[in-house]
Amino acid sequence: MQLNGLIHTFPREIKLLLSAFIIVLSVGFFSGLLFVNETSSANPNGIEEQYLGNENDEEALVMKFKKSDKEMLSIVHGHILSMALIFFLLGLILSTTQLNLKFKIFLMVEPFVSVILTFGGMYLLWKGFTFMKYVVMLSGILMTLSYTLSVLIILKQLYFKKRLV
């Protein structure tokens, strides 16, 4: 089955459905990033503080405590499952776009690697491997870039005519 460029042939109602889905999904995705920025200051030390606490910092404006076993397992479990579904659905839609195959495969697979590195890294950070705060930050950035690029490609190809190649 030929999927490359199939998105251009979708009927109007499917294009509207996909657009609505992508837009609502993006509101959820990017509001999650606002939450991350609010809770961890989106920097490696903020990430470490979010999961390991800051009880030893007497000058901290907001006191944070190390996450419990249940909290960490809930965060990791919930995020890995939900992000897997998000990126699976986004990858299915992206598979119908007209793109270079290697680039398309990268955009379809990379987010899954980043999900494991980001949320697995959070767990390892919580377990005491503090260098993982850098892995968490870098993989989170890469995941966000892949998501954003995929969404932009999908939305562009939903509404602009297929180029003659």
64-78: per-residue pLDDT in tens? 889 999 999 999 999
This prediction's pTM: 0.89
Secondary structure in 3-state letters for 3-50: CCCHHHHCCHHHHHHHHHHHHHHHHHHHHHHHHHHHHHCCCHHHHHHH
Q: Is the residue at 43 inside a domain?
A: yes
Compute the CA torsion angle 69, 38, 132, 72 (nearest 10 deg). Answer: 10
Q: Is the residue at 80 inside a domain?
A: yes
Q: How many CA atoms lie within 13 A of 142 on its CB side?
A: 19
Which residue range forms the structural domain that includes residue 129? 17-159
Q: How many domains does the chain have?
A: 1
* CA nearest to 140, candidates 13, 14, 35, 16: 35
98-113: per-residue pLDDT in tens? 999 999 999 999 999 9
Q: Is the residue at 88 inside a domain?
A: yes
Judge whether 127 and 66 are in contact, CB under 8 Å.
no
Q: Is the residue at 111 inside a domain?
A: yes
